[in-house]
Amino acid sequence: MPRKEREVTMRRPLMAGNWKMFLDIPGAGKLAEELVSGTKNVTDRDILVCPSFPLLSRVAQAVEGSAVQLGAQNLYYEESGVFTGEVSAAMLRSVPCSYVIVGHSERRHVFGESDELVGKKVASALKQGLRVILCVGELLEEREEGNTKRVVKRQIERGLDGVEEAALEDVVVAYEPVWAIGTGKTATPKDADNVHAYIRTVLSTKFSKTAASEMRILYGGSVKPENVDGLMAKANIDGALVGGASLKSESFLRIIKFET
C-alpha cells in the first residue's frame, strides 16, 4: 500500500460500522462472519462493528479471536438501577464490547440528547473501561449560517468535560456533518479535512498538543466504496464511521481495505 502523510503521525486508521437499528440475530452473525473471513490479512488498521443491543452477543461470538472489534451504539451513564430500557457500561463490558458510540446525531436530534447528557455518558464509559467514539457534527442550517466550527467546538468541549488527558487514548472523535448522514451527500475530502484540522486545534487547546496530535478523528456521512479512498488520503482523516455501507460485507470490506 502506498505511503501517505498520515502514517508518519502514527495514528492507526479505525474503520467502524454503525449498523443502527438494522439486521436480526442470524443476519448480524452472518455479516460478522463474512467480515472476519474477509479481513484475515488486514493487519494495519483497526476494524469495529457496532450492532444494536440484542445482536451484540451473537456478533461477539462471531468475532471472537479475530481482528474485528465489537462496540455498542449507546449506553446510559448510571452504573445500575431503576432505568427501564437502559444499558450500562458494565453490561456492555460483560458482552464483551470494547467500544461505545456516544452522541451520534440520531441520539442528539431524534432522541433529544443534550451535550450535558453526552458528556455524562462519555465519562461513565471511560470510567468503566470502554473506549468511546464521540460523534460531533453540525446540522445543515448551522452549516449554512457559518456555525460549523462553533457547533463542533461546543460539542467537543462539553462532550469531553472533565475527561483527564490520560483517558484520551481511549477516545476517538467522529466528525459527522448531520446533513451528510444517510443522505448520499458527502463532505468533500478537503472540507472534511479542514473541519478535522479545526477539531484537532480545539483538542490541543483543551488538552496538550501531543494528545491532540495522537487522537484519531474519523469522518462519517455517506462513506462508500467510491469515496473512501479520497477521504482517507487526507492527513487529518484517521478512519471512517460508516452507516448504510457497513450493512453489506462487500461494500464494508472495500471500505475497510481503502487505498490511498
Report in angstroms how near the CB of residue 101 gets to ligand PEP at its nearest.
8
Q: What are phi and psi of 138, to 5 degrees?
A: -95, 155
Report in angstroms how near the CB of residue 109 gets to ligand PEP at its nearest.
12
Q: Which residues of 134-149 are buried (b: 16+ CB within 10 A; e: fewer)?
A: bbbbbbeebbeeeebb
Dist CA 221 CA 182 (whole Å): 7
Q: What are phi and psi of 106, to 5 degrees?
A: -70, -35
The amino acid that residue 174 corresponds to is A
Catalytic residue among 106, 138, 142, 176: 176
By C-beta, is 207 or 244 nearer to ligand PEP? 244
Instruction: Give yes or no: 169 in active site.
Output: no
Point out the residue whose Cβ comes nearest to ligand PEP: 243
Instruction: Give yes or no: 78 in active site.
Output: no
By C-beta, is 49 or 207 nearer to ligand PEP? 49
Q: Which residues bind ligand PEP (CB under 6 A)?
A: 18, 20, 176, 181-182, 220-223, 241-245
Catalytic residue among 104, 113, 138, 142: 104
What letter would DSSP give residue 88? B
Report in angstroms how near the CB of residue 200 gets to ligand PEP at its nearest.
20
Residue among 3, 12, 23, 9 at smallest CA distance from 172 = 12
Measured in whole angstroms, the distance separating CA 189 from the mean position of its chain's CA atoms is 17
By C-beta, is 77 or 219 nearer to ligand PEP? 219
By C-beta, is 99 or 207 nearer to ligand PEP? 99
Report in angstroms how near the CB of residue 180 gets to ligand PEP at its nearest.
6
Q: Three-state SS for 231?
A: helix
Q: Are 9 and 42 in contact (CB under 8 A)?
A: no
- Residue 191 is placed in which grid cell? 472540507
Report in angstroms how near the CB of residue 110 gets to ligand PEP at its nearest.
12
Beta bridge partners of 241: 16, 220
By C-beta, is 72 or 241 nearer to ligand PEP? 241
Please list the active-site residues.
104, 176
